[in-house]
């Protein structure tokens, strides 16, 4: 009886290893409500998305967005993007001293978009890249799946996200994981906002940052600030993983997004460098992939008072060591 009591008291004071969050990797990771580098320096993403999977011949884009001041590039990948290509993308990011957010696009609008795959399938894609990603924790963020649910039933988002994150961790991936909200990323239903804390707590490495996509849902200052406030008040890490200046679902209050992101230290990634089609060509930041022909949207994102040139700071990892090992 006495021995059992002692054992119980020891267990209460010393919870099992599996019940404690594992330490994050020495690379990019979450500290409180912010993203920091391995040395503890705060890192605020300032950059753009590049649709690599559909424009594989446009590799000059990495150097061009860096020259315009970006510290991060979000790179679109699909199931057809193989390990060798991903390794090359990471190398290009590092050569150009950019943090590389690798984004798996085939989940887009699951439940509404024909042929969109599940977050479990996305996790399988990432675990298949384990050897390529290993050792890149200082330079690479894994964006689990782009806009993984449409506007229908989003009740499965939290469970599917937790399971996918766990699958990556079980495979040994230690990277900062970026997860997109449902509702085509805009999370107007508040599902990500309401479940973010439990998703973060479920990660053994406690190393998840939440990504909201801001388009027509965020057409007023109050819509933007209310969403930012919710994550600030909860002490949870947030980035604007995509946004534009207008879209098919309405005007976007990009001025407030950029101004508030700057004042709060929230990262943002504009959509997208170039090559948009299907009626959304207005989202191109550069005409014909030419950095000297920025569009109105491109000039605002790069050169505005709260834009990339004015607010971007290069990751310290590129100052602390050579860009390419």
Of the candidates 312, 313, 276, 319, the one whose C-alpha atom is nearest the C-alpha of residue 295 is 276
CB atoms under 10 Å from CB of 255, counted, come to 15
> Quick one: CA dihedral 273, 179, 114, 88, positive or negative?
positive
Peptide bond into 272 cis (omega under 30): yes
Can you read off the two tokens belonging to residue 221?
């200052």
> Quick one: CA dihedral 135, 141, 144, 145, positive or negative?
negative
What is d(CA 192, CA 182) in angstroms, rounded to the nearest whole number? 7
What is d(CA 187, CA 214) in angstroms, rounded to the nearest whole number? 9
Residue 295 near residue 286 (C-beta atoms within 8 A):
yes
- Catalytic residue chosen out of the listed positions 147, 254, 281, 296: 147
What is d(CA 18, CA 247) in angstroms, rounded to the nearest whole number? 45
Rounded CA Rg of the chain:
20
Can you read off the two tokens belonging to residue 63?
């150097």
- Catalytic residue chosen out of the listed positions 242, 254, 260, 314: 242
Q: For residue 112, indicate whether it is catalytic.
A: no
CB atoms under 10 Å from CB of 99, counted, come to 28
Q: What angle do the packed helices 157-170 and 119-128 form, to 10 degrees?
A: 20
Q: For residue 147, indicate whether it is catalytic.
A: yes
The catalytic site residues sit at: 147, 242
């Amino acid at each position: 009886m006495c021995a059992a009591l002692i054992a119980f008291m020891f267990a209460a004071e010393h919870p099992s290893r599996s019940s404690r969050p594992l330490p994050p990797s020495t690379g990019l990771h979450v500290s409180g409500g912010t993203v920091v580098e391995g040395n503890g320096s705060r890192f605020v993403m300032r950059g753009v998305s590049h649709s690599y999977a559909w424009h594989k011949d446009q590799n000059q884009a990495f150097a061009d967005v860096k020259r315009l001041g970006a510290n991060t590039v979000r790179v679109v990948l699909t199931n057809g993007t193989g390990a060798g290509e991903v390794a090359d993308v990471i190398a290009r990011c590092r050569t150009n001293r950019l943090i590389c957010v690798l984004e798996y696009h085939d989940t887009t609008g699951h439940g509404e978009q024909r042929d969109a795959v599940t977050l479990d399938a996305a996790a399988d894609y990432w675990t298949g890249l384990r050897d390529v990603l290993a050792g890149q924790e200082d330079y690479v963020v894994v964006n689990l799946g782009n806009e993984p649910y449409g506007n229908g039933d989003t009740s499965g988002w939290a469970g599917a996200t937790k399971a996918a994150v766990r699958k990556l961790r079980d495979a040994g991936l230690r990277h900062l994981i970026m997860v997109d909200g449902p509702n085509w990323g805009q999370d107007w239903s508040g599902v990500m906002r309401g479940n973010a804390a439990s998703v973060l707590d479920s990660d053994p490495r406690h190393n998840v940052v939440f990504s909201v996509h801001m388009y027509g849902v965020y057409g007023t200052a109050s819509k933007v600030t209310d969403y930012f406030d919710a994550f600030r008040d909860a002490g949870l890490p947030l980035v604007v993983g995509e946004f534009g200046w207008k879209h098919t679902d309405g005007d976007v209050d990009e001025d407030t997004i950029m101004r508030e992101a700057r004042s709060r230290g929230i990262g943002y990634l504009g959509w997208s460098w170039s090559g948009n089609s299907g009626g959304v060509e207005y989202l191109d930041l550069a005409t014909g992939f030419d950095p000297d022909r920025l569009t109105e949207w491109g000039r605002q994102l790069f050169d505005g008072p709260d834009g990339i040139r004015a607010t971007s700071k290069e990751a310290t990892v590129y100052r602390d060591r050579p860009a390419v090992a």
